[in-house]
Structure 1
């Protein structure tokens, strides 16, 4: 089965149990034999016909653009204009519909772009090279000169888009449409409005102007490496909306500092908006850690025989101390514990980043968090029958009254953020869920793996894991016992039945040549129907017991963060 945006609702999300395609999406049956697909086509559609082939993917002699990465399941590409001396962080990304004819999908490697996101591999894909050539033609033909384009680029609203319409293999046939994102700038708030929310004495960092930031590289859909007065910083901003950004800014400015938690923001970045000419906060800067995330560091060290037990223990202890600090000293929760959100300092100490508090997907999250998240996803998805959606909205309303207000794009300064499943949990339940995530991360650290899954659907890595949680190969026995205690209550994952093989979703129990896309969808429907049933029963028991005052908030009897820390220290000291 092809990887595409529809595959998320049909297979990857719990919505697969009830999925109904929207009217505008026409059902397209996947060819049963892809090897013979092109050989059976008429000459007008054959790849042997020159008109059906890309004329060239060679880079222009003097390329004007660079592709730094990808997001949005292969539909959003981060691009940088190389001919502008000082590029402000406008974040005018390129958007491509991934609902393309097979002839185009295959030649542009859109299936690979679905899960390939990093700057090391993505620029080698055909679609990235094609985008560079399209933008080269557009820049040189639609503008009088490069200086006029620079003026245009610096004048568009933050987060505007370059939309490639009528995608074709011939770059001359592709129309580049500019989508001006006035809506985002309309929602950005000035410092005075945030001061009204947070109080006149709120400790805002120093203010810098948006155009004083010069982009060096786009690292993520929300993160750029920028230069301010010759010094490097990380610039954090969200083009999808500002509510999580403002919540993170508030959190980072108010939590008590800790050596293994990202420093408070260095600057708030304001931009004069085209809409109403207000000067609004577009983002903030933080300290730059050039060693990167342990997601990439761990497997590289393991592959070269450089992953030492002393470092594994040091990082595990540092993470656990940081989590306990957040709980005991800052009275907040951390739902985003995954390898992507842990970077290494110059001294090779771990630093936790990303305090939007959005949460992680089920490959890292605790089952009790997933139970609520499944309800929320089904309640709010447009591809679920109305009666089903109403049923789960009722469940969600009981768990978090007024939850739909938190789903809106408006920033309302909620005390506990916008993460509905975590807001539904008590402090003890939150700690137990953090311990679960910590157990998964400990497994990755001691196994030297980039993630708990061999072939995650969402993203492939330069160093793919060679085993799947909870298999053990390198973890010492005492740590295996600790990880198993931390992850009590874990459920079977979708990856036990359906995996990503190269750029296809396939069943694990049947040769690829003997299965169809419909079989994959049906297997996903069975899996998610079972998981939803288990989740509903769990929440029914939880609700009933809570009303009676008999609910055990540590339902799965996991250790506390402090107990995890004690075991790690004991192992480090040779006591176990």
Structure 2
């Protein structure tokens, strides 16, 4: 089965248990129905000469560069190369996922689905094609490059370049500018945030949006920029502002810690296109150039430089930081994964990303997943109304008034917008953090980039060669601790459906003995069972809570303090 946006709803998300394509009626649902895949025709055949791309050679002097990808192969970070100073407008390119097979194949859209990084993505056909399309558009639609620069700097923050009528002939592709006025309307001025957070709130220094110069785009929310010749990170969200403001508030108010990202250096404001509003568009933070543990661990292991002393040091620092957040700042950290752990110049771990959105199920605790599965089914448009209504009632019992948190507006909620974590008690939150910590410890001691061999969402430059909880390099004492931290773990979809290159395949059958329908039906049965298990767990939890005999640490995991004590012991024994 090819990787595509539709595969998420049909296979990867728990919505697969009840999925109906958007074009089908939402009023009826029959579990485990069959479907046919239409055959190909000469008109769309790769063998047809008119369906072959003419060239992927980059222009001699390219005007654009592709830095990365998000949105499952539909959103590409591009920056113009002909400006002296590039403001962080974030005018990304958007490509529809629904393309004829001959276009998908030649432009490598399936690979772009899971290939995100700046090292590999620019080598893909779609990235080169985008550069060629933008080269043609820029030079034909504008009088000169200076005119384009004036236009670029005048559009709302987060506007889009949408490629319509995708063709293998770059001159035939239409580039439509989508002006994101809606985002700028939702951005709030500093005075409004001060009203919400209090007049004594410790705001960082305020600087202007156009004083930043983009060096590269690292992520859909992160740019490497220069401010007065100093390199720093510019954090901003083009999808909405509520998570950004919540992170800004959190970073400005938590107690400092050596292994947690420093409070923001600057607040970045931009004058919006409508009216006179000068709104908060983002903030800057310190740049750690060594990168994330996701890339560092397998690189060190491959070169036989992953030392036990460093593994123990990082584990202690990470656990210490989590304990600090809980005891000194009274907050939770649901985003614990290798992508959110960077190394300082002194090779100490630094936790970043405090949006509190959470991680996907390969890192999350089963009790968190149980609530998240309910949330996804309750709010997904491709689930029949009769089904989603049932789960909306369950979600409402868990988080009364959850609808206000699902709104795009920022309302200054005390505990953020993460519904599963808001539904948990403080003790349950700590137990869920310990679970994520256990998986991260496994990655650290095995020296891998993640807990799955081939994660659907993203491939890595160094793919893991084993899957959690398989052990090869972790010492026995650490294995026992990791097993205690991850009590209650369940089998994941990757046990039965795996990404192989750019396709989803069943693990128990040869590739030539299966088809897309089998993959979808297998995933549907898996998720249906998982959802039933989630419902039963939540019913048990609610029943025992009413009786007053619910154990918030249901799986009897160690506390953060107990994990830290065990790590100190291992560290002492290894020295």
Please confirm whether the aligned pair reaches a TM-score higher than 0.5, indicating the same fold: yes
Q: Which residue of 2 aligns with 1:475?
A: 474
Q: Which residue of 2 aligns with 1:85?
A: 84
Q: Which residue of 1 aligns with 2:334?
A: 335
Q: Which residue of 1 aligns with 2:8?
A: 8
User: In the TM superposition, what are the counterparts of 1:544-563 in structure 2 within 5 Å?
Assistant: 544-563=543-562
Q: Which residue of 1 aligns with 2:29?
A: none
User: In the TM superposition, what are the counterparts of 1:453-472 in structure 2 within 5 Å?
Assistant: 453-472=452-471
User: In the TM superposition, what are the counterparts of 1:561-576 in structure 2 within 5 Å?
Assistant: 561-574=560-573
- Write out per-residue CA displacement over residues 318-340 of structure 1, whole angstroms, 9 at most, x where no aligned residue: 00000000000000000000000
C-alpha displacement at 1:275, in angstroms? 2.1
> Distance between the aligned counterparts of 2:424 and 2:300, measured in 1?
37
Q: SS at the partner of 1:298?
A: helix
> Distance between the aligned counterparts of 1:431 and 1:290, measured in 2?
31
User: In the TM superposition, what are the counterparts of 1:101-500 in structure 2 within 5 Å?
Assistant: 101-500=100-499
Q: SS at the partner of 1:84?
A: coil
> Distance between the aligned counterparts of 1:348 and 1:30, measured in 2?
52
Please identify, of 15-24 and 113-122, the stretch whose mean Cα deviation from structure 2 is larger: 15-24
> Distance between the aligned counterparts of 1:28 and 1:249, measured in 2?
47
Q: SS at the partner of 1:219?
A: strand
> Distance between the aligned counterparts of 1:256 and 1:276, measured in 2?
38
> Distance between the aligned counterparts of 2:73 and 2:141, measured in 1?
26
C-alpha displacement at 1:115, in angstroms? 0.2
> Distance between the aligned counterparts of 2:296 and 2:253, measured in 1?
30
> Distance between the aligned counterparts of 2:410 and 2:235, measured in 1?
17
Unaligned runs of at least 5 residues, structure 1: none
- Write out per-residue CA displacement over residues 275-310 of structure 1, whole angstroms, 9 at most, x where no aligned residue: 222000000000000000000000000011000000
- Write out per-residue CA displacement over residues 519-539 of structure 1, whole angstroms, 9 at most, x where no aligned residue: 000000110011101110000
Q: SS at the partner of 1:148?
A: helix
> Distance between the aligned counterparts of 1:530 and 1:465, measured in 2?
28
> Distance between the aligned counterparts of 2:563 and 2:431, measured in 1?
11
Q: SS at the partner of 1:284?
A: strand
> Distance between the aligned counterparts of 1:47 and 1:309, measured in 2?
52
Contact 2:261 2:351 in 1 (8 A): yes
- Write out per-residue CA displacement over residues 199-245 of structure 1, whole angstroms, 9 at most, x where no aligned residue: 00000000000000000000000000000010000000000000000
C-alpha displacement at 1:118, in angstroms? 0.2
The total of aligned residue pairs comes to 567
Contact 2:217 2:223 in 1 (8 A): yes
Contact 2:44 2:100 in 1 (8 A): no
> Distance between the aligned counterparts of 1:253 and 1:167, measured in 2?
45
> Distance between the aligned counterparts of 1:529 and 1:47, measured in 2?
38
Q: Which residue of 2 aligns with 1:501?
A: 500
Q: Which residue of 1 aligns with 2:65?
A: 66
Contact 2:35 2:517 in 1 (8 A): no
> Distance between the aligned counterparts of 1:532 and 1:276, measured in 2?
48
C-alpha displacement at 1:404, in angstroms? 1.3
Contact 2:316 2:564 in 1 (8 A): yes
C-alpha displacement at 1:28, in angstroms? 8.8
Q: Which residue of 1 aligns with 2:28?
A: none
> Distance between the aligned counterparts of 1:312 and 1:65, measured in 2?
40
C-alpha displacement at 1:52, in angstroms? 1.4
C-alpha displacement at 1:161, in angstroms? 0.0
C-alpha displacement at 1:49, in angstroms? 4.0
Q: SS at the partner of 1:150?
A: helix
> Distance between the aligned counterparts of 1:30 and 1:225, measured in 2?
44
> Distance between the aligned counterparts of 1:272 and 1:59, measured in 2?
36
C-alpha displacement at 1:51, in angstroms? 1.9
Q: SS at the partner of 2:246?
A: helix
- Write out per-residue CA displacement over residues 500-530 of structure 1, whole angstroms, 9 at most, x where no aligned residue: 0000000001111111111000000110011
Q: SS at the partner of 1:276?
A: coil
> Distance between the aligned counterparts of 2:84 and 2:298, measured in 1?
36
Q: SS at the partner of 1:436?
A: helix
C-alpha displacement at 1:24, in angstroms? 7.3
Q: Which residue of 1 aligns with 2:31?
A: none
Superposition TM-score, scaled by structure 1 size: 0.97
CA RMSD of aligned residues (A): 1.4
C-alpha displacement at 1:29, in angstroms? 4.8
> Distance between the aligned counterparts of 1:28 and 1:88, measured in 2?
48
Q: Which residue of 2 aligns with 1:529?
A: 528
> Distance between the aligned counterparts of 1:327 and 1:153, measured in 2?
44
> Distance between the aligned counterparts of 1:426 and 1:548, measured in 2?
16
> Distance between the aligned counterparts of 2:398 and 2:263, measured in 1?
33
Task: Extract structure 1 runs of 4+ deviating beyond 4 A.
Answer: 27-32
Superposition TM-score, scaled by structure 2 size: 0.97
C-alpha displacement at 1:45, in angstroms? 4.5
> Distance between the aligned counterparts of 2:362 and 2:559, measured in 1?
21
> Distance between the aligned counterparts of 2:37 and 2:442, measured in 1?
38
C-alpha displacement at 1:46, in angstroms? 4.4
C-alpha displacement at 1:53, in angstroms? 1.1
> Distance between the aligned counterparts of 1:264 and 1:23, measured in 2?
47
- Write out per-residue CA displacement over residues 20-56 of structure 1, whole angstroms, 9 at most, x where no aligned residue: 111179x995579xxxx7xxx64x5543443211110
- Write out per-residue CA displacement over residues 129-159 of structure 1, whole angstroms, 9 at most, x where no aligned residue: 0000000000000000000000000000000
> Distance between the aligned counterparts of 2:528 and 2:549, measured in 1?
29
